[in-house]
Structure 1
Amino acid sequence: MSDEREPRTSWTFLTQHARVLLLISRDADVRLRDLAITCGVTERAVRAIVGDLEKAGYLTHTRHGRRNRYHVTGGTFFRHPVEARHEIGDLLLLFADPDGRPPHQPATPSGDHHDEHP
């Protein structure tokens, strides 16, 4: 038997909570279904993550007709003591989309936005 281990390739630097918050910061009107598709998790998991973020004070939402509009709360800090002196907003700025596009809507060659879904 070899002592070599297979590389661990399934982990990422951002948690699903960070990823959901980042995507919401890019598109306040994003649907939970679209977040789930983009993150590669179930809609139920995204609903739980959004609930966690709201309970912790990182996120709020208001109802607009049949849709939710999300708002990332400014001035919030990371939860773990090692990062607790850093604001969440700094992370969101680091990953901000310079074109202001949600990640699931790439630019067309003319620079106009379009929806990938029929």
Structure 2
Amino acid sequence: MSDASVSRVPWTFLTNHARVLVQIARDPTLRVRDIAARCELTERAVQRIIADLETDGYLSHTRTGRTNRYQVIPDTQLRHPADAGATVADLLAAALTRHHDGEQARRPAAESVPAE
């Protein structure tokens, strides 16, 4: 059997948690429905991811009426030992530098990622 005929499992560079975090950093007022659409996930999956991120100190939210406003906590260290010393701010700085279309990305809201 040739290598070309072996089916490969698709993989990506970013986890769903990173995708959700990036979307929230771009716009802290996004609804779960909008985050799900942008990340190509279900709303339920996004809710679980947001709960994980809040539980582990990467994100917080405040509720105003029926809407949530999220706040990324930029000084939180990344979890994997290979990323020792890197913070959420470091990840977002790299992820928010450019969009997939090559145009300059919109900077995250000031309250999400403070200036260094």
Q: TM-score, normalised by structure 1?
A: 0.77
Taking CA–CA contacts closer than 8 Å with sequence separation of 6 or more, which of the two structures ends up with the larger relative contact order? 2
Distance change >3 Å, CA 101–CA 87, structure 1 → 2: closer
Counterparts of 2:36 and 2:105 in 1: how far apart (Å)? Answer: 22
Counterparts of 1:63 and 1:88 in 2: how far apart (Å)? Answer: 23
Runs of 4+ in 1 over 6 A off after TM superposition: none
Gaps of 5+ in 1: 103-118
Question: Max radius of gyration: which structure?
Answer: 1
Distance change >3 Å, CA 94–CA 101, structure 1 → 2: closer
Q: Deviation of residue 77 (structure 1)?
A: 0.9
Q: TM-score, normalised by structure 2?
A: 0.78
Q: Deviation of residue 88 (structure 1)?
A: 1.4
| Percentage identity across paired residues of the two chains | 49
Residue of structure 1 aligned with 2:106, choices 83, 100, 107: 100
Output the aligned Cα RMSD.
1.8
Gaps of 5+ in 2: 99-103, 109-116
Counterpart for residue 110 of structure 1: none
The structure in which a higher percent of residues are helix is 2
Distance change >3 Å, CA 83–CA 101, structure 1 → 2: closer
